[in-house]
Amino acid sequence: MAGRDADDPGSAPTKLWGGRFQQATDPVVERFSASVSFDRALARYDIRGSIAHARMLAATGLITPADRKAIVAGLEQIGADIEAGRFAFQDRLEDIHMNVESALRDRIGEAAGRLHTGRSRNDQVATDLTLYLLDACRSAEAGLRQLRGVVLERAREHVDTVLPGYTHLQRAQPVRLAHHWLAYFEMWTRDAERFRDLRGRLDRAPLGSGALAGSTLPLDREQTARELGFVGPSRNSMDSVGSRDGALEFLSAAAICMIHLSRISEELVIWSSSEFGFVELADAYSTGSSLMPQKKNPDVPELVRGKTGRVVGNLMTLLTVVKGLPLTYNRDLQEDKEPVFDSARTLGDCLDVTAGALATLRVGRERMAAAASDPMLLATDLAEALVREDVPFREAHEVVGKLVAHCVEGGLDLGALSKEELRRFHPAFPAGAPELLDVERALEERDLPGGTARARVEEALGEAAARLANEEEDAE
């Protein structure tokens, strides 16, 4: 470093990397490369992996039963101290792994030096991160079950609440609010499936892969894999330590889920405005203005919408980190953890507050019904009435388009046009608009699978409840 004598003992840092290096790491480099401020989130997984490794070493005769007993007891004590907040993390020891190993040496002495037998920090880190990701997936699935339970319950309450469905944020056709909210149930179900599917691809233990090529020692990788809950050891040591697609897939699933949360948040923001008045958020999920006492701001959904950017950004960060790395491990991969930890925490928080906001909001049924009563929302039904009279749809579409233009230009009510007025535009109209255009009938005639007819919505509610119950049973 410029301005510092590399041999100056007064600035000598604390760490020497074994016998190969004659010079200690520069303090600036230590600060630059330290990760314990964030990778301490891996502590419980590091303890678990190390205990499994110690037991395997003893079972294969690589360490004595006495050493195993001392190591396991020491690690359990360290784990308890970390969970209780009593552990003093030291930045000079760089990461969680060295912090644990140093603390173990202080507690049990020489036996601690045998723990790293047959292990590299490369496969140690990969194992810890994989265990973390498995738990993060389970946590996301649990949050999504809670959220879907809430939206399912609210949908049950609003089978008969009608509002406009929108395209391009323009009123399009009337739908049941239950049908609208069940659309999010389906999105969040696919989100849960992505996390569950990922767990199936995280089922191989990296431990025992060493730095990249395995070990000459008689390690029992099957034993450590079983103890840690994996189906078996990973199939390729180089892939194990050099790949991060598990983290990438988690970040991708989290980003997609956040996009879905952001979409409903956007609707809550719009719907809670005075212009819409479709919903009112509970006070517990709103804030006031520091200046305007009348304001009730939808801060919770706005924050969810805003935090979506950081989760999407985390995915982009790790994609960029990994894209140019040759096999196998490179120090760039230290940058995998902060995006993962941040996304897991952010997603969990957003799932919780969205569930709370949906559970407590008040629905403005009257405002929704008034908006859905606009006869223009049934223009397609008018065209389909002609189709039933054997008029080609494109011709019917053009006819009704002209009718709409006629009403807009003349300030007329489309729903009030008589049979004679309609037949001026096409002789096949079988009745007047009052007979042809009815919101309830429009809903009930959409009786195809996945449609908004009452029977289909109630069927969908039952199927959704059964799927959710099965997931909850499987999670127990």
Which H or E element spans position 279? Answer: strand 279-280
In 351-456, DSSP assigns E strands to 362-363
Q: How far apart are CA 333 and CA 414, in angstroms?
A: 63
Read off the tokens for 24.
């200690």
Q: How far apart are CA 302 and CA 330, in angstroms?
A: 38
Residue the block writes with tokens 């990438």: 248
Let me know: does 155 contact 461? Beta carbons within 8 Å: yes
- Residue 323: other Cβ atoms inside 10 A: 7
Distances (CA, A) of 17 to 20, 98, 101, 123, 268: 7, 12, 14, 18, 55
Q: How far apart are CA 218 and CA 94, in angstroms?
A: 30
Of 328, 140, 120, 124, the residue nearest 249 (C-alpha):
140
Of the residues 168, 237, 397, 426, which is catalytic?
A: 168
Close Cβ partners of 91 (under 8 Å, ≥ 6 residues apart): 30, 31, 34, 36, 37
Of 266, 264, 210, the residue nearest 233 (C-alpha):
210
Let me know: does 185 contact 155? Beta carbons within 8 Å: yes
Let me know: does 121 contact 62? Beta carbons within 8 Å: no
Q: How far apart are CA 465 and CA 150, in angstroms?
A: 11
Residue 209 catalytic?
no
DSSP single-letter state for residue 174: E
Residue 215 catalytic?
no
Of the residues 33, 37, 273, 289, which is catalytic?
A: 289
Q: How far apart are CA 472 and CA 476, in angstroms?
A: 7
Instruction: Tell me the catalytic residues.
Output: 168, 289
